[in-house]
Amino acid sequence: MDFKLSKEQELIQKTARDFTEKYIMPVADQIDRENKVPPEIFKKMSELELFGIPFSEEVGGTGAGYSCYPLAVEQIARASGGVALILSVNTLAVSALNLFATPEQKKRYMPPCCRGEKIASFAFTEPGTGSDPKQITTTAVKDGDSYVINGTKRFISCADLQGPIVIFAKDNETNFPTGFIMDKFCPGYSISEPWHKIGMRGGLITDVYLKDVRVPADSILGPKGQGYWVLQAGIAYGKVGVSSGALGGMQAALELSIKYAKEKQHRDKTIAKFQGVQMTIAKIAEKTEAARWLVYRLGYLAENLKDPRAFAKEAALTKSFVTEAAVDVSRLAIAVHGSYGLMEDYAVGRIYRDLIIGEQVEGVADLQRVITASLLLG
């Protein structure tokens, strides 16, 4: 058992931290205000190979592995939950391709996404589905050597960015969900105006409309009729990114709380001298450190996958604990700031808005506990 980061991990962590502090932090409020990430940030992320960290060199990645991936997402999320969301969503979708795609599909879709030239999306949710794949209404009808897909997907991240998208539709041959991989903005693909999220701004979510989208039969991702397992595997890897992003927000809340407490004067001394403030900051530190080692461990397990069911349990457990703890931490950080924490001039409010979204995406906390319990109890 070794808790020390390797030299490669330290380098990736430092690279992501330096990039974040130089390029994202100065425009973090702008991203939040305008709901748009400046193109030069994507360009720099691509140059630094941040999109390809988990994946092998054979598919266009860096070969660093999933154990390094949380280190990068954490640093980026210290400044912007929206930028971290884009990286996390791309990794989720590409992870599903890495697990289930044919060699031809991998060759076509993975390298551009690993280089950051394209951003992948993952589209399961529909207006009436919630988390139940049995309620899926998007259809895929076999027509010769093609499938014709019709339906609406809701709250899809990065659907506005060029790249591939994994679509889940009920095919008319098995009557079960099947995964399909296709290019966004192909004929019949369109999106809504972005939803106005309260946080993680810059990472847009839209509805996706599929009207008579025709894809070749070799667009099926994984076994026909087994889309549920493609979905579950992809989401499990997605929880690594969401949890890492929550950790980054927690670390930012801790840093801001310490800074404010050391600067804010009350009764001729800083509030850092008051025991109540000390106790609050200690609670923030406790929860942040507990979350950190769960997240880092999940990255290790993703890289050294042996039992998919066991990994799904660990991913659900980590996601529920870390994202809930993150919301607690952000509230405590606002309490340290007092009334100033409610002002848009202070970043702690933006962090709070980012973190309450993390608790809801990739499966709400109670659903994660259901997954954890079912896998523990059989």
Active-site residue list: 362
- Of 57, 100, 55, 50, the C-alpha closest to 76 is 50
Spatial distance between the Cα atoms of 14 and 16, rounded to a whole number of angstroms: 5
- How far is CA 120 from each of CA 97, 156, 321, rounded to the nearest angstrom? 10, 11, 27
233-247 burial, b for 16+ CB within 10 Å, e for fewer?
bbbbbbbbbbbbbbb
Closest C-alpha among 132, 110, 100, 367 to residue 239:
367
Going from the C-alpha of 255 to that of each of 251, 273, 285, 290, the distances in angstroms are: 6, 17, 10, 16
Question: Which DSSP string do the residues of 270-333 spell out, in sequence order?
Answer: EGGGSHHHHHHHHHHHHHHHHHHHHHHHHHHHHHT-S-HHHHHHHHHHHHHHHHHHHHHHHHHH
- Output the six-digit token pair for 263: 């600067």
- Alpha helices, H only, the chain: 7-19, 28-34, 39-47, 69-77, 81-100, 103-114, 227-263, 275-303, 308-337, 347-358, 365-377
CB within 8 Å of 58: residues ≥ 6 apart: none
Q: Give the three-state DSSP class for 261.
A: helix
